[in-house]
Chain A
């Protein structure tokens, strides 16, 4: 009796709200509904508009161009994409994820943009049994997180490996006598920047480097000239910036103005963005940055061309194809299972082998162990120069002025 009462109340409440909000759009029966929540506005919108959203658009248009995803019974189901803007606000993000799961009743959800949002969304993906194949998420807490959330996957790498590669490259250049022992480090005082910095200091010290400058600046700092002046005054041989999109550009501006003459110049996120090259042209030759790709791979070349053609924008040289690859994983898992059974799809992702633009992927404890860590601008392209077991690493070149 009570349960019937509550059932009635629930139905009428939900009905009233659905009616009031004009929800409950009746989608075509033959589609697979896929949801995506990420920033279209707010501080992270810039990164998402370059790395995240275009790939979803590209993937959906390609899959639907093929006629849709192939099901067990041989039929094809097109993708109906439902997107929400979280405004770079975690409260809004969670709300939108719940809305996708409960109101839109989507079959799958694309993992969010950024490490923090992936963590925030993880309990909700887990609750509704959605696999969460993250692409733009790097952290050293992968083992704890994957243990806690069995449907959570990582593909872009971890902090220590990222930092390790940078130190390794610098150590090698030093040992070859190409640069000296003095390194200047700056970081943006925001989650990723702080984590990278924290991980890097002991590794630099262990490798015998002399850290001559180590300061942070707040996210959104407009004038980085005092920072770069301090860096220059410390007279470093190598410069490392654990930076984010706007300040990656701001630092380069000031490096040019102050004439920071180092033979190794590294900045983190956004160095791989085409907009970085567009702004500075040839002067960024030799700049090292997070990411990099094997641009000689034919699969990747096709992807890059398609990306440009379909979205009208160039893909970035780091996480863009990884985002796309995670969608390929989802696609291949759904087709292999032949249905939208989320449990089966998740299980398949854990054990299956996938052919992606990033090469052949097979998850090991929910993690793709091979990934690019450092890239370098060489002849107007951002090649991978260091990785954990990716094919096609290019040799590192010395930076010669701006």
Chain B
């Protein structure tokens, strides 16, 4: 373990420790809500980047995985204990990812984007069809013993797990293979790497985590109904947060999740009440948030293609005499 890694571990343990402590504070519900949101998106964005960082494929499937995870829990919470369901949900997300990956990951990135763009909507319609015609249940009320604090801790544990998995992948053959694929796919295949297979494995991992998050969140939201769980906006948020932070470092997405979540909070608070101008109501928070989402996408493309992390690294390199590359 290098010195940098040691510092990284200490920071991570301290960070998670502090976060885990939060629910014990009294009257900290608002902070908790914010922390919950940040934790949730940290898991989603980090697991997204595990796949998209090295492969450069833009996955818009997060909402589909998230929804599948929630669906599994909603369908089974009366029969099976929650931990089992959590595993099943992750498994279901992984299987879905494997199917999608096998169909599309051999081909160029555009096909993959298009395929995942409508995936959440496709599955929403199929789940709705099953609900309407087979099980004949509209919305399901998922009442479990999962308390708010536990939900938060579960997400935090998932976040810890996603970082651990990411760290292990970086040090594994798979991580090494992904770096080679990212550089030159022809060389990769001539070195004996199964590049489509490696991509599918990573996609499965990201699908697993997104589904697990959905599984936890449905116990918080309680009312399960496909129309409010297969929400494409979740996919878009995740993409933007991950890219904003930077996907070539494990901790990059975190640097996107925190500012973005806080920025949305500011908009929520500042622009929620309709403002009148010339007697017409203008800019509600909802529209403003959508516009912000769009502006961030463009900002990333035009100004910060390597995210906040990229900026930080460039700055660090400029400041450090000698200008050696800093490998974290």
Contact = CB atoms under 8 A, between A and B. Distances in A.
B268 A90 contact: no
A208 B223 CA distance: 34
A219 B272 contact: no
A194 B269 contact: no
B215 to A, nearest CB: 14
Contact of B227 (A7, A20, A43, A101): A43
B26 A10 contact: yes
A216 B227 contact: no
Nearest to A6: B25
A117 interface: yes
A29 interface: no
B234 to A, nearest CB: 8
A123 B285 CA distance: 25
Q: Is the interface of A mostly helix, strand, loop or mixed?
A: helix
Nearest to B33: A98
A84 B37 contact: no
Interface stretch (B53-61, B123-131, B318-326): B123-131
A98 B132 contact: no
A258 interface: no
Contact of B269 (A23, A190, A195): A23
A90 B262 CA distance: 19
A87 B128 contact: no
B136 interface: yes
A195 B225 CA distance: 12
Given A85-B284, A191-B227, A218 B128 contact: yes
A353 B25 CA distance: 41
B275 interface: no
Interface in A79-106: 82-85, 87-91, 94-96, 98-99, 101-103
Contacts of A313: none
A350 B29 CA distance: 28
Contact of A198 (B26, B137, B225): B137
A103 B139 contact: no
A84 B268 contact: yes
Interface in A127-162: 141, 145, 148
Nearest to A53: B274
A120 interface: yes
Report the interface size class on chain A. 35 or more
A10 B284 contact: no
Given A10-B26, A98-B33, A120 B222 contact: yes
Contacts of A82: 272-273
A115 B41 CA distance: 27
Interface string A197-222: 11000000000000000001011000
Contact of A117 (B223, B270, B286): B223
B233 interface: yes
Interface in B104-134: 124-125, 128-129, 131-133
A13 interface: yes
A6 B269 contact: no
Contact of A191 (B26, B37, B139): B139
Interface string A155-182: 0000000000000000000000000000
Contacts of B278: none
Nearest to B36: A95
A21 interface: yes
B221 A120 contact: yes
B273 A83 contact: yes
A13 B31 contact: yes
B138 A90 contact: no
Among A41, A89, A91, the one with the most B-chain Cβ atoms within 10 Å of its Cβ is A91
Nearest to B224: A116
A218 B123 CA distance: 11
B62 to A, nearest CB: 13
Contacts of A7: 26
A27 B223 CA distance: 34
A85 B30 contact: no
Given A20-B262, A120-B223, A194-B138, A103 B268 contact: no
A88 B228 contact: yes
B220 interface: yes
A85 to B, nearest CB: 4
Contact of A216 (B34, B132, B217, B270): B132
Interface string A326-358: 000000000000000000000000000000000
A111 to B, nearest CB: 14
Contact of A119 (B28, B129, B141, B227): B141
Contacts of A23: 269
Nearest to A123: B222
A304 to B, nearest CB: 23
Interface string B246-286: 00000000000000001001101110111000000000111
Given A13-B28, A190-B128, A218-B128, 20 more contacts: A6-B24, A14-B28, A41-B286, A82-B273, A83-B273, A87-B289, A88-B228, A89-B228, A90-B221, A91-B221, A95-B33, A96-B268, A98-B33, A99-B30, A103-B30, A116-B139, A193-B138, A195-B139, A198-B137, A219-B227
7 contacts: A10-B27, A20-B266, A83-B274, A117-B223, A187-B132, A189-B133, A218-B128
Interface of A: 6-7, 9-10, 13-14, 17, 20-23, 40-43, 82-85, 87-91, 94-96, 98-99, 101-103, 115-117, 119-120, 122-123, 141, 145, 148, 187, 189-195, 197-198, 216, 218-219
